[in-house]
């Protein structure tokens, strides 16, 4: 997968290469900004709607600012191509909630449909530490909340001494980023769905969104203080982040050789367990899941632009059996390799991807 084809994440699209939230909201607030805006002077809040360009997918981002201490990015997109960017240290705690996106799902029985619990990823960077973000093509429905640590303590009662997880999150060691992954309470999904249902310009939408955001932060704090059994936490240094990025690069380049994560770990001078946990915590995906995405995106590129036979493409992206490749390709892209090849260089529309409400095993 050619890195040069990657589009930026919301932070970079609006905030430039640095991707700082300060720059993002400065861009949105400039006179003559083309984006739909809604303000509430009483709440000291504002929200904007930023649509994706037609050639980059469908949907867009809703950005909400509640004073200087809380900002949110609501993503409801179908990306036509992968996106990549980085998150700078801004002294904020990031709370990331995934509703639909690149998650590994399983089901049992014919037509089984599972409603996965909401996963929250909380992060806090020490000064000088950036981390990379990768968003695959396809459906992405998520919320990113950035909250000042003092707000979590003073307004929401997050005591760093209340749990091991809270302590590590609130005070990352120098040169590291602290990352906590947790399964949220069931009530969180309803709040997130209600938040995504709001729209800029609808009367009362901004006040309703602010109320929902505050309730979601409250649930997040409850989870962090509870130190739930499902919660995992870790600190990742700049060296660790570099190792994980090198691992991801190796997976993206190794489409035919099928190196194991253990092989990559030995090549990088680390251990497989560390890489496995780090990929899941930092990038929210498994090694096999990321390699599958890279294979399918590269296969689409070869079929659409190089006009190679599907049997040849199958071998180039690591499939020894043509039939297995066809099944995997159709499950990922929603069309057969033959149909993709017939399209030639025409734009692959994201609406041709599988229905996100399809049974989980259809996307495995």
Dihedral-angle region of residue 116 (phi above 0 means left; psi in -120 to 50 means alpha; beta otherwise): beta
Q: Tell me what pLDDT residue 80 has.
A: 87
Backbone torsions φ then ψ of 185, nearest 5 degrees: -60, 150
Average pLDDT over residues 236-256: 81
Are residues 230 and 143 part of one domain?
Answer: yes
Please, what is the angle between helix 238-253 and helix 287-301, to 10°?
Answer: 40
Contact 37, 47 (CB under 8 A): yes
Query: Is 354's pLDDT higher than 60?
Result: no
Average pLDDT over residues 183-212: 91
Are residues 184 and 217 part of one domain?
Answer: yes
Please, what is the angle between helix 322-333 and helix 287-301, to 10°?
Answer: 90
Q: What is the pLDDT of residues 318-347, one digit of tens each?
A: 887 888 888 888 888 888 888 888 876 444
Of 224, 252, 287, the residue that ends a domain is 287
Higher pLDDT among residues 257 and 155, named by residue: 155
Tokens of 23: 């720059």
Query: Is 32's pLDDT higher than 80?
Result: yes
Handedness of CA 146, 150, 154, 158 (dihedral sign): positive
Question: DSSP labels for 144-171?
Answer: EEEE-HHHHHHTT---TTS-HHHHHHHS
For residue 239, what is the enclosing H or E element?
helix 238-253
Are residues 154 and 50 part of one domain?
Answer: yes
Q: What is the pLDDT of residues 56-81, one digit of tens each?
A: 999 999 999 999 999 999 999 999 88
Q: Tell me what pLDDT residue 115 has.
A: 45
Contact 125, 86 (CB under 8 A): no
Give the list of residues 6+ apart from residue 50 with CB closer than 8 angstroms, or none. Answer: 10, 13, 14, 28, 35, 60, 61, 62, 63
Average pLDDT over residues 160-181: 84
Query: Is 359's pLDDT higher than 60?
Result: no
Paired residues of 83 in beta bridges: 7, 135
Are residues 271 and 204 part of one domain?
Answer: no
Are residues 172 and 71 part of one domain?
Answer: yes
Q: Tell me how far apart the alpha carbons of residues 170 and 263 are, in angstroms, rounded to a whole number.
A: 35
Are residues 246 and 161 part of one domain?
Answer: no
Q: Tell me what pLDDT residue 355 has.
A: 39
Domain that holds residue 252: 237-287
Are residues 245 and 201 part of one domain?
Answer: no
Domain count of the fold of the chain: 3
Q: Which of 351, 363, 357, 272 is nearest to 79 (CA)?
A: 351
The answer to pTM > 0.75 is no
Per-residue CA distances from 180 to 73, 93, 150 (Å)? 19, 11, 18
Average pLDDT over residues 278-287: 74
Average pLDDT over residues 43-49: 96
Contact 107, 359 (CB under 8 A): yes
Tokens of 299: 């296969």
Are residues 356 and 222 part of one domain?
Answer: no
Q: Tell me what pLDDT residue 84 has.
A: 83
Return the percentage of the chain with pLDDT > 70, whole number: 85
Query: Is 191's pLDDT higher than 60?
Result: yes
Q: Tell me what pLDDT residue 362 has.
A: 30
Contact 184, 118 (CB under 8 A): yes
Paired residues of 135 in beta bridges: 83
Please enumerate, as own/partner, the contacts of 238-242 that have beta carbons within 8 Å and a separation of 24 or more: 238/129, 238/175, 238/176, 240/176, 240/274, 240/278, 241/129, 241/131, 241/132, 241/177, 241/282
Are residues 254 and 174 part of one domain?
Answer: no
Are residues 302 and 263 part of one domain?
Answer: no
Tell me the CATH number at 336. Answer: 1.10.10.60
Query: Is 196's pLDDT higher than 90?
Result: yes
Query: Is 180's pLDDT higher than 50?
Result: yes
Query: Is 2's pLDDT higher than 50?
Result: no
Q: Tell me what pLDDT residue 358 has.
A: 35
Query: Is 109's pLDDT higher than 80?
Result: no
Of 267, 287, 307, the residue that ends a domain is 287
Lowest mean pLDDT among 292-301, 327-336, 343-352: 343-352
Are residues 157 and 12 part of one domain?
Answer: yes
When the pLDDT of each residue in the chain is averaged and rounded to a whole number, the result is 81
Any idea of the CA torsion for 176, 182, 187, 193, to the nearest 10 degrees?
60
Are residues 245 and 221 part of one domain?
Answer: no
Higher pLDDT among residues 196 and 236, named by residue: 196
Average pLDDT over residues 236-257: 81
């Amino acid at each position: 997968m050619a890195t040069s084809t990657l589009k930026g994440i919301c932070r970079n699209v609006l905030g430039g290469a640095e991707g700082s939230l300060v720059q993002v909201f400065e861009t949105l607030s400039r006179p003559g900004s083309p984006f739909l805006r809604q303000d509430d002077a009483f709440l000291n809040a504002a929200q904007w709607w930023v649509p994706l360009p037609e050639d980059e997918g469908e949907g867009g981002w809703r950005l909400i600012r509640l004073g200087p201490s809380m900002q949110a990015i609501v993503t409801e997109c179908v990306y036509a191509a992968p996106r990549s960017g980085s998150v700078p240290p801004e002294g904020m705690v990031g709370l990331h909630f995934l509703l639909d996106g690149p998650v590994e799902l399983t089901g049992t029985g014919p037509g089984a449909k599972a409603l996965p619990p909401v996963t929250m990823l909380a992060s806090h960077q020490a000064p000088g530490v950036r981390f990379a973000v990768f968003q695959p093509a396809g459906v992405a429905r998520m919320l990113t909340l950035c909250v000042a640590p003092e707000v979590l303590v003073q307004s929401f009662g997050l005591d760093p001494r209340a749990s091991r997880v809270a302590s590590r999150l609130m005070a990352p060691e120098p040169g590291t980023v602290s990352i906590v992954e947790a399964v949220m309470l069931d009530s969180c999904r309803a709040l997130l769905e209600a938040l995504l249902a709001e729209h800029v310009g609808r009367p009362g939408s901004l006040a309703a969104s602010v109320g929902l955001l505050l309730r979601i932060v409250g649930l997040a704090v409850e989870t962090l203080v509870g130190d739930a059994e499902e919660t995992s936490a870790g600190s990742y240094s700049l060296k660790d982040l570099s190792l994980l990025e090198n691992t991801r690069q190796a997976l993206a380049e190794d489409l035919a050789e099928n190196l194991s994560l253990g092989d990559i770990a030995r090549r990088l001078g680390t251990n497989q367990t560390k890489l496995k946990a780090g990929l899941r915590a930092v990038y929210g995906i498994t090694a096999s899941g990321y390699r599958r995405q890279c294979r399918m995106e590269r296969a689409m590129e070869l079929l659409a632009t190089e006009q190679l036979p599907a049997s040849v493409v199958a071998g180039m992206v690591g499939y020894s059996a043509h039939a297995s490749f066809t099944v995997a390709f159709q499950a990922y892209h929603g069309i057969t390799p033959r149909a993709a090849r017939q399209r030639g260089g025409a734009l692959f529309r994201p609406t041709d991807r599988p229905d996100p409400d399809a049974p989980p095993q259809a996307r495995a």
